[in-house]
Structure formats: C-alpha cells, structure tokens
C-alpha cells in the first residue's frame, strides 16, 4: 500500500508540474493517430460528391457538415492532416540532420570551415522562413515534395546554429579532452561524447520547429503551392472555404480550428520537454 501511495504521489506531482504539456502531447497524439487511421475512422470517402447535400450544416449524419460539392467535411479534415503532418515531420527530420552535421562540423573543427558555414547560415537566416520557403517552391515548382524540401531548407540554419553553440561548449569539457588525450579520433569523440550530450536541446528545438513546420505547410498549401486543388488538406480546405465564410462558415472553420489546436498542442508539448530536459529549470522548480 505504501509503495502504491508513493507511486500515486509521484504521478500527481508529475501531472501538476507538466499538466499542460501532457494535455498537449495527448491531443497531438490523438490527432496523429486519427490521421494515420483515416481510412478506418473516416465515415465517408473524402472525395465523394453529393451535390444534392451541398452546404449541409453539422448534424448527426455529417458531424462537420458538407462543403460546396457535398463532400463530408469531417472525413476531409481527418484525411487533411496527412499531407501537412507528413511534410512537417519529414522537413523537421531532414533539417535536423543537415543542421546538426553543419553545426557540429563548424563548432568542433572551427577555423575557416566554421566561419564559412556560419556566414552561409547567416545569409539564410536573413530571409524570413516563410519567404525563403515560398522562394524555393517558386523555383522548384508546385508540389508537396517541394514544399517539404522548402520548409526543411528554411529550418536548417536554426538547427545548425544551435548545434554549433552546444558543440563549442562541449569541446572544452574534461571528458572530451580526456578522450582526445587517449588518442580517440574526432569521429569517435563526436559520436560518443558530442552528439549524445547534444540531444536534449536538439529535441526541444525539434518540437518547436515542428509547430512552425505545420503552420508553414498549412500556409503554403493555403496559397496553392502544395497539394493539388480538391485534395483533402487543412490549408487547402481553408482556402477553398474562405469565400464561404458568411454563407457556410463551417466549411473553413473546422480545418482552421484543427490547425490551431495542432500547433498549440505541439507548442505546449515542446514547453514541457524544455522544462523536463533542462537541468537548470528542474533545479529551480520551474
């Protein structure tokens, strides 16, 4: 009984400390699960048209109503997360990998390589990320793959700068100096000492950039640079429904609401990860 009370007490303390973060994580996990299981969960074909039932208001038959072509908005919202979430995850992973390689290379090796890489990152950071993404998509052409590349490319400097700052700090740690004095190669030191100690801030940054990627992907799809018209996608659905805001407000409302909830849940989850992974914040009880 005493052990059970102790476990419940620790769970209670953990919940009170990270309640918003846990709630955000649970909501995001739910959205992600529903999106992955879209063929099972969605009650209708998201592309099926029923002109006779166009602009139907939310009801038991159509939870979010229907759009201008009689398509079920609820089913389209469920499927609509697939292109945005897929592109966002892929963009963050690619940007993280490229940014860590660039940042660690510059921070660990230093010298002219570091100067050249960081000046290149400064040039990229001088452009607003959404503007840089639009420029890249306009150059490569319209398409979800190009949107993913554009978002990932625009986020590389953020990860590179963070990785470099952490690498510079870790290079002068005693355990790194000891490993170097024992004859360890640079690759061994980076793999076994630099990268593992770099994970906490990188994970926190990745969660923050995921929220940015979701918002950017939605914006690019909204202006027609991503998926093809008619494809179930949150950004595209808002764009298609914006002119119906006064006649059928439910058409753009629900996809826009899901975008907002998704971004907020990821942000709250990231805040919790930062508080939990930062030892200074843990010691201060923040």
**Which pair of tokens denotes residue 275?**
């508080």
Domain assignment of residue 115, yes or no: yes
Domain assignment of residue 25, yes or no: no
pLDDT in tens, the chain (286 residues): 455 565 665 655 555 666 788 888 899 999 999 999 999 999 999 998 988 888 888 998 999 999 989 999 999 999 999 999 999 999 999 999 999 999 999 888 888 888 999 999 998 888 888 888 888 888 888 888 999 999 999 999 999 999 999 898 888 888 888 888 888 887 888 888 888 888 888 988 999 999 999 999 999 999 888 888 888 999 999 998 888 888 889 999 999 999 999 999 999 888 877 776 665 545 444 4
Domain assignment of residue 58, yes or no: no
Please give the model's pTM, rounded to 2 decimal places: 0.87
Give the angle 201-281-91 at the CA atoms, nearest 5°: 25
Domain assignment of residue 3, yes or no: no
Q: What domain range is 110 assigned to? A: 64-284
Q: Are 91 and 213 contacting, i.e. CB atoms less than 8 angstroms apart?
A: yes
Distance CA 62, CA 42 (A): 11
Domain assignment of residue 4, yes or no: no
CATH number of the domain encompassing residue 190 = 1.10.3720.10
Domain assignment of residue 43, yes or no: no
Domain assignment of residue 167, yes or no: yes
Domain assignment of residue 190, yes or no: yes
Distance CA 57, CA 248 (A): 8
Domain count along the chain: 1
């Amino acid at each position: 009984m005493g052990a059970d009370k102790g476990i419940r007490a620790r769970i209670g303390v953990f919940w009170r400390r990270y309640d918003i973060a846990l709630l955000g994580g649970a909501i995001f996990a739910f959205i992600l699960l529903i999106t992955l299981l879209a063929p099972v969960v969605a009650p209708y074909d998201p592309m099926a048209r029923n002109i006779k039932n166009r602009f139907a208001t939310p009801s038991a038959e159509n939870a979010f109503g229907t759009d201008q072509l009689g398509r079920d908005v609820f089913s389209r919202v469920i499927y609509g997360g697939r292109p945005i979430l897929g592109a966002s995850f892929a963009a963050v992973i690619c940007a993280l990998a490229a940014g860590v390689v660039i940042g660690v290379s510059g921070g660990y090796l230093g010298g002219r390589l570091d100067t050249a890489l960081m000046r290149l990152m400064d040039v990229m950071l001088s452009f607003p990320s959404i503007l840089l993404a639009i420029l890249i998509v306009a150059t490569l052409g319209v398409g979800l793959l190009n949107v993913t590349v554009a978002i990932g490319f625009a986020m590389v400097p953020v990860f590179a700068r963070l990785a470099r700052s952490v690498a510079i700090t870790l290079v002068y740690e005693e355990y790194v100096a000891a490993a170097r004095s024992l004859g360890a190669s640079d690759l061994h030191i980076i793999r076994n000492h630099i990268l593992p100690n770099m994970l906490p801030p990188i994970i926190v940054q990745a969660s923050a950039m995921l929220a940015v990627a979701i918002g950017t992907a939605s914006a690019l799809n909204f202006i027609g640079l991503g998926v093809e018209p008619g494809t179930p996608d949150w950004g595209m659905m808002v764009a298609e429904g914006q002119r119906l805001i006064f006649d059928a407000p439910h058409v753009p409302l629900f996809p826009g609401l899901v975008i907002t909830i998704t971004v907020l849940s990821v942000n709250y989850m990231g805040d919790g990860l930062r508080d939990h992974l930062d030892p200074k914040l843990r010691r201060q009880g923040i």
